[in-house]
Structure 1
């Protein structure tokens, strides 16, 4: 009972705190990561995400202000340097003039020289004070940015630790519903592999048949995320929990590529790019966040490929034909996700393109192609789920 009360107090504190004390918030989250039970793990991951997003928003605002401050600081430094040099030059000139004036006993002229020199000195000191004040403020903001970065590092560690303890919560299912407008409209007159695209007015993509002389199937697999690293392999997480795809970690908004020539079956971005937390079942399939599913053609075979946890920057639409290495989206951290990465699943298809599209439409955008989300390496009448590393080359 005492533990629950503490947790409720923590929640109320997050909601009512007007001036964020991030040290307190981060420390509170850190103190609960190792003791929270599975029932409250998603809640804690959500709070971790909310605090991270709040810090990132302030970080972005501060970066913008510092960009402006940086230019102002350079201008003040230049002005201060110029005023200093001018004063030192005048001081040297006036010292020579004063020697001459004193010899000639021209005290009245000496008075004006002193007054002019004092004016130069005051201007130099004012520019110095303005520059030093601006420099101090810039350093203060820089220290705040460094502090924000340390908070984000700590919160990222909390999310990773929650994931390590409760990776069984990180899954997809079909408990929600798909978006009808994001699914391919039909299976008649599908564009042939090897077609190409042109741009109409307003930059909309238009499919154009033809150019069939080129090889329509890709001869190799494209790496899906540039400069990404594998963060979790297929079939199981380190703790043994089921994992049905390949996770490729990368920075937010990294380019995500079409693995091969193909056609898009589903593309939908219903949520924010960085809304992920453990147990967040938004998107389609439930937990995928922003997602894409497509059929690709490689080595005389057809495969289905799905991408999950994308940002809301998706550049393809259902029914669109896509060439290999086309940037189809930017990576994100959406849905049931505890950090920026792209989740990829691959299915070797047993049916032709028309039959696959017909099944996909009639099943209600089944990203598993009849294989479900409850077991590894499963097969159906339409496809077999395979380890993406079997076909992806050079990862």
Structure 2
């Protein structure tokens, strides 16, 4: 279910504000970060998110403008350089002619030569003037972009500080309802390996029926994100509050890969890629934003893995069987998140695939497989929650 912000009135007039206005807004946010109370922390984080979204919009517009200006400036520079060389060549050429003409004591010819030479100079100066104006505009836009980048850094510092003070607010919850259409339909006639096809005519997707098991086990764990960094480890945040997964920070829209051969139990992208703020309970489970849950097969064992806070670019669907290393989504900053990262949880399963699928369906897509979101290293009749780093040989 797509969440609708309760704070729709905030920053309605934010579009096209001046640099000084942004500076005042961000300074105000910075002043509140250290004194804000817990009950207002989510609202302040939402304000930070809204300012960052508007800044991102401004920066995208500026980048496009700078790209066009840069192309025009380069073209004008080449033209100006060409006309300058032409003028200098003509000046040299005419100076040699003048020597010959002066020997003939002609008065009119030097005048004509000077006039022609001056036309080349004027032509060059016109292009050079336009080039300098455009170059000045490019420099101005580039400087403005640099200021906006500094603003983004300040906003990120605010979000990180809010997270440090109130990291216990960044939990997931199994409340309300999951999206029925995003849950695997059943344990019978599961799709065959790689059985997700794209129809060229209309771009829609269909599943091809096949066997009931994952076709083959992987012999190792694939890194879920290459070139990421671990921003928070499993069981506890640095401040000691509960953290039930592994956070891998990376740039927006980084590739997120299947860690092993497996089958998708749930895949849903109901919210924008960059809608995250502290306490935002959008997505399923609540707070996860855009999420994927899979069963994977590694070294003769079955595991469930959760990917949360993804962008809305998800490339798999429930019931699809995927191979290890397949790009299944792009990373994002959705749900209960204060910056671009992917939250990963791993469960070692106790039941076979059919029983797990049946439980997942009948529970309404329980991403914890009975382990809940309240305690670390818990077990149920279906699974045990484990530290992802205990099985993954991460090189990040």
TM-score normalised per structure 2: 0.93
Give the alignment of 1:9-20 within 5 angstroms: 14-16=11-13, 19-20=16-17
Match runs of 1:251-330 below 5 Å = 251-330=251-330
Can you give the 5+ residue segments of structure 2 that lack an aligned partner in the other structure?
Answer: 1-7
Question: Structure 1 stretch 92-101 or stretch 39-48: which is displaced more?
Answer: 92-101
2:194 counterpart of 1:196: yes
Q: Which residue of 1 aligns with 2:240?
A: 240
Shift of 1:17: 5.0
Higher helix share: 1
Deviation of 1:26 after TM superposition, in Å, equals 1.1
Deviation for aligned residue 1:13:
8.2
Whether the 8 Å CA contact 1:304–1:349 is kept in 2: the answer is yes
Q: Distance in 2 between the 1:231 and 1:385 partners?
A: 20
How much has 1:198 moved relative to structure 2?
6.2
Q: CA deviation at 1:309?
A: 0.1
Deviation at 1:18, TM superposition (A): 5.7
Superposed displacement of residue 394, structure 1: 3.0
Residues 131-146 of structure 1 mapped to structure 2, 5 A cutoff: 131-146=131-146
Q: Deviations over 1:281-333 (max 9, x none)?
A: 00000000000001111111111111100000000000000111111000000
Q: Deviations over 1:221-265 (max 9, x none)?
A: 111011111100001101111101000000000000111111100
| In 2, Cα distance between equivalents of 1:289 and 1:230 | 20
Asked if residue 41 in structure 1 is aligned to residue 41 in structure 2, the reply is yes
Q: Aligned partners of 1:275 and 1:36: how far apart in 2? A: 21
Change (3 A) 1:323 1:344: same
Q: CA deviation at 1:209?
A: 3.9
- Residue-pair matches, total: 381
Q: What per-residue deviation string (whole Å, max 9, x for no partner) do you get for residues 57-87 of structure 1?
A: 1101111111111111111001100111111
Matches within 5 A, 1:65-84: 65-84=65-84
Q: In structure 2, how many angstroms separate the alpha carbons of the residues matched to 1:239 and 1:38?
A: 15
Structure 1: where are the runs of 5+ without partners?
1-10
- Say if 1:309 and 1:17 are closer, same or farther in 2 by CA, change over 3 A: closer
Q: CA, structure 1 residues 18+261, in 2 after alignment: closer, same or farther (shift >3 Å)?
A: closer
Question: What is the DSSP-based 3-state SS (H/G/I as helix, E as strand, rest coil) of the residue aligned with 2:284?
Answer: coil
Alignment of 1:44-123 (within 5 A): 44-123=44-123
Superposition TM-score, scaled by structure 1 size: 0.93
Check 1:137–1:310 CA distance in 2 against 1; reply closer, same or farther (3 A cut). same
Q: CA offsets per residue over residues 125-165 of structure 1, 9 Å max, x none?
A: 11110111111111111101111111111111111010000
